[in-house]
């Protein structure tokens, strides 16, 4: 099998993994809001804004959950990147199995702690912060686990960056079409190839956003009906991705090189 064919199959595998992880992130994000606290644990922009707002109001009981989420997400992302670096240096190609297993353990742990803890009914602040830290840590690990597909930067836990990337590649795609039709030589294969690539990238970034939306939709439906036990759905998705990594390792070299 040629190197180009292997590379193409590898990119398709990682693209599929990115899509299902986006679904899982949207699912976890909304279940946390519905069942634990009105803060998102997968993307930090809104949580940072909420932290600033509550600091001004000196509402310390609201400051604590937001600060907990930010600290846990950062710490878990840092751990994930450190593990990826160690994996690359030791030539251990299945490092994603480790980081995603850690994420799965955190998600699985939230279910009994949040469901059967004696402090659940009272919704005590320490319990809320613990559960939020576990969810944010899970999302931080996922963020670190897959950041690159070929030349594309990918974020599976928040879609602001993906919407921006969609706008960028869509602009290039539209200008490519314009340039193609304005050229006297309409058979410019290089330009046609670039247009095809930009169209493919646009579809992919749109799909990342769409799967996050679908995950949030299903998370709302199942989270409303089953509360924290709904997290078994993203847990199962993670197990499937771990199996994929064990069989076809999600190469870590490009993850290590990604610094955006």
In DSSP notation, 122-135 reads TT-HHHHHHHHHHH
Reported pTM: 0.90
| Size (the chain), residues | 260
Helix 189-226 vs helix 3-35: angle between axes, to the nearest 10 degrees?
A: 30
* CA dihedral of 36, 136, 214, 222, whole degrees rounded to 10: -30
Q: Is residue 233 part of a domain?
A: yes
Domain that holds residue 132: 12-158+226-257
pLDDT above 70 as % of the chain? 88
Of 57, 53, 25, nearest to 145 by C-alpha is: 25
Of 165, 160, 241, 244, nearest to 203 by C-alpha is: 165
Q: What CA–CA distance (Å, rounded) separates 134 from 41?
A: 9
pLDDT on residue 93: 82
Residue 185 has pLDDT above 60, yes or no: no
Q: Is residue 188 part of a domain?
A: no
pLDDT-derived band at 8, boundaries 50, 70, 90: low
Q: What CA–CA distance (Å, rounded) separates 5 from 45?
A: 39
Q: Structural domain tally of the chain?
A: 1
Q: What CA–CA distance (Å, rounded) separates 79 from 102?
A: 10
Partner residues linked to 148 by β-bridges? 153
Q: Is residue 152 helix, strand or coil?
A: strand
Q: What CA–CA distance (Å, rounded) separates 45 from 73?
A: 12
Q: Compute CA distances 161 → 51, 103, 240, 247, whole Å.
A: 21, 22, 26, 30
Q: Is residue 195 part of a domain?
A: no
Q: What is the mean pLDDT of the chain?
A: 88
Of 1-10, 48-57, 95-104, 211-220, the range with the lowest mean pLDDT is 1-10
Q: What CA–CA distance (Å, rounded) separates 198 from 14?
A: 18
pLDDT-derived band at 6, boundaries 50, 70, 90: low
Residue 260 has pLDDT above 70, yes or no: no
Q: Is residue 73 part of a domain?
A: yes
Q: What CA–CA distance (Å, rounded) separates 66 from 79?
A: 20
Tens digit of each residue's pLDDT (9 = 90 or more) over 65-122: 999 999 999 999 999 999 988 988 888 888 889 999 999 999 999 999 998 876 665 6
- Dihedrals phi, psi of 125, to nearest 5 degrees: -60, -45
Q: Is residue 164 part of a domain?
A: no
């Amino acid at each position: 099998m040629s190197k180009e064919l292997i590379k193409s199959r590898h990119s398709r595998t990682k693209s599929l993994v990115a899509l299902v992880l986006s679904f899982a992130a949207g699912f976890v994000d909304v279940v946390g809001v519905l069942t634990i606290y009105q803060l998102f644990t997968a993307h930090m922009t809104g949580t940072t804004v909420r932290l600033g707002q509550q600091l001004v109001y000196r509402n310390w009981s609201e400051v604590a959950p937001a600060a907990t989420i930010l600290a846990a997400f950062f710490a878990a992302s840092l751990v994930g990147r450190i593990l990826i670096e160690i994996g690359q240096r030791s030539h251990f190609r299945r490092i994603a199995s480790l980081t995603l297993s850690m994420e799965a353990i955190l998600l699985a742990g939230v279910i009994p702690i949040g469901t059967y803890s004696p402090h659940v009914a009272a919704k005590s602040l320490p319990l809320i912060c613990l559960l939020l830290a576990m969810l944010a840590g899970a999302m931080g690990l996922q963020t670190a686990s897959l950041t690159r597909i070929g030349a594309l930067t990918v974020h599976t836990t928040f879609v602001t960056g993906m919407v921006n990337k969609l706008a960028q590649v869509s602009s290039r795609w539209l200008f490519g079409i314009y340039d193609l039709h304005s050229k006297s030589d309409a058979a410019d294969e290089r330009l046609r190839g670039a247009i095809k690539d930009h169209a493919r990238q646009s579809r992919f970034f749109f799909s990342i956003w769409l799967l996050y939306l679908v995950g949030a939709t299903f998370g709302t439906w199942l989270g409303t009906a089953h509360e924290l036990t709904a997290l078994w759905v993203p847990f199962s998705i993670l197990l499937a991705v771990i199996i994929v990594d064990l069989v076809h390792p999600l190469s870590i070299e490009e993850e290590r090189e990604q610094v955006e």
